[in-house]
Structure 1
Amino acid sequence: MSATTVLGFALACVLLNLVPGPGMMFIVAHGLGGGRRAGVTAALGMASGTVVHTVVAALGLSALLQAAPFALELVRVGGAVFLLYLAVSAFRSARAAAALTAPPRKSLRRTYLSAVLTNLANPKVVLFYLAFLPQFLTAGGWPGPVQILLLGAVLVLIGLVMDCGVGVAAGALSAVLVRRPGFERGLKRVAGAVFGGLAVRLLLDAR
């Protein structure tokens, strides 16, 4: 695998990460709802999920999912249900804030695990490894699994840097807005709407 191939893949990863998707919206929602630390934690969770996808692809299990579409369907529906749960939780938190009760802030550990599960439940990531990444694999030289791991590491690193920037920016915006009365409830409702929208998108997306 040449340096030119790796650089071309890196550029493609940058362009892909610039396009807003479910992962970015998830990070923005957590950054707005929980501040910079929550946004960065969500980015770390997304990166961890991508690491799992990379290892799975290197082991050849993505080909198994391609051969068994029903398994991919289960992943898609399960991810949608999980996002709906997050949406309901966010709206309940907003209602508690409106009632002047102090709802417990979601722990960073829970935010991290939520991000990992959301990433793993996104079938588009599996399809990325099935359709896009193989275009950068070269015959001869390094074994296929090693090339997948290398390209996956590039994807994880670029995605982590860009997603952390998004999380910090969303957290900074949250820190400014929550100083004004009523904005905290509004931010939680926005987060709930984002999670709900992601769930609907996951259910309706073409497979």
Structure 2
Amino acid sequence: MQTEFLITSLIVVATPGTGALVTLSSGLSHGARAAMVAAFGCTLGVIPHMLLAITGLATLLHTSRFCFELIRYAGVLYLLRMAWLVLRERHLLSVEHVQGPQARGELIRHAVLVNLLNPKLSVFFLAFLPQFIRSDDSTPIWSMLSMSLVFMAMTLVVFALYGGCAAAVRDRVLRSRRAMRWLRVSFAAAFVALAVRLALAQR
């Protein structure tokens, strides 16, 4: 595994985005276990992009304006919905405990969709991974798969760390209504900002 690939992947994963916001909000509102569930969901959301890149279908997304726009605006609408859920204290940044498979499934669904509905992730896999595959590689698909799995492992670890740090200050934050109100507004604004950035993104 090339050092340049590992360093670049770590930078990409560690850069805060929608997945990091979901994991942070889960850690703050529900604790470390929920943060880990959210991190797992965000990692699962990478799989479709990985499969698209490996099978070559990501090229269609990259070249087809209609497909790109369809997924992009679906992502925009979902990010705006998440901002609304934060303000309405439902699921995200709600102080209710995440219990039972249904609640955990809902949290995973949110986490998966924020990554699934991000067309830039497919473009990233299409443009980024092939650069680290040697021209004389006899098994390029296996090389891409192994690098994708490393990227997913990094995603899980980094997002779990984000969520763990958030969970560590959870009790202190929950004791302050003012802090919770500020957090809801801040997270909602962040989701709206990411939605605007995605709406203005170019292929």
Match of 2:26 in 1: 30
- Whether the aligned pair in 2 keeps the contact of 1:9 and 1:136 (CA below 8 Å) is yes
1:138-180 Cα deviation digits (max 9, x unpaired):
1233322211111101101112111110111112222321023
Q: Is 1:140 the counterpart of 2:133 in the alignment?
A: no
Give the total of aligned pairs: 197
Partner of 1:79: 75
CA distance in 2, matches of 1:153, 1:170: 26
| Cα RMSD, aligned residues only | 2.3
User: How far, CA to CA, are the matches of 1:25 and 1:9 in structure 2?
Assistant: 25
Q: Secondary structure at the match of 1:139?
A: coil
Of 43, 63, 70, which aligns to 1:47? 43
Partner of residue 177, structure 1 = 173
Distance 1:142 1:48 in 2: 28
Instruction: Evaluate the alpha carbon distance shift between residue 196 and residue 105 of structure 1 in structure 2; reply closer, same or farther with a 3 A threshold.
Output: farther
Q: Note the residue ranges of structure 2 that are not aligned, 5 or more in a row.
A: none
Aligned to 1:130: 126
Question: 1:72: how far off?
Answer: 1.1
Aligned residue identity for 1:183: A
> Counterpart of 1:116?
112
Matches within 5 A, 1:86-125: 86-93=82-89, 107-125=103-121
* Deviation for aligned residue 1:10: 1.4
Partner of 1:167: 163
SS of residue matched to 1:15: helix
Which of 58, 63, 69 is residue 62 of structure 1 equivalent to? 58
Distance 1:142 1:157, change over 3 A: farther
Deviations 1:92-111 (A, max 9, x none): 228xx9xxxx9866622212
Measured in 1, the distance between the counterparts of 2:95 and 2:165 equals 24
Larger deviation, residues 37-46 vs 180-189: 180-189
Equivalent in 125, 129, 145 of residue 149 of structure 1: 145
Contact kept? 2:21, 2:187, Cα under 8 Å: no
CA–CA distance in 2 between the matches of 1:119 and 1:54? 12
TM-score (norm 1): 0.84
Find the aligned partners of 1:79 and 1:88 in 2 and give their Cα distance: 14
The one-letter code of the counterpart of 1:11 is: I
Contact 1:76/1:203, CA 8 A, preserved across alignment: yes
Deviations 1:121-142 (A, max 9, x none): 1122111112111100112333
Structure 1, unaligned runs of 5 or more:
none
Alignment CA distance shift 1:181-1:22 (3 Å): closer
- Runs (4 or more) in structure 1 with deviation over 6 Å come to none
CA distance in 1, matches of 2:65, 2:140: 24
- Tell me how far apart the structure 1 counterparts of residues 201 and 170 of structure 2 sit (CA, whole Å): 30
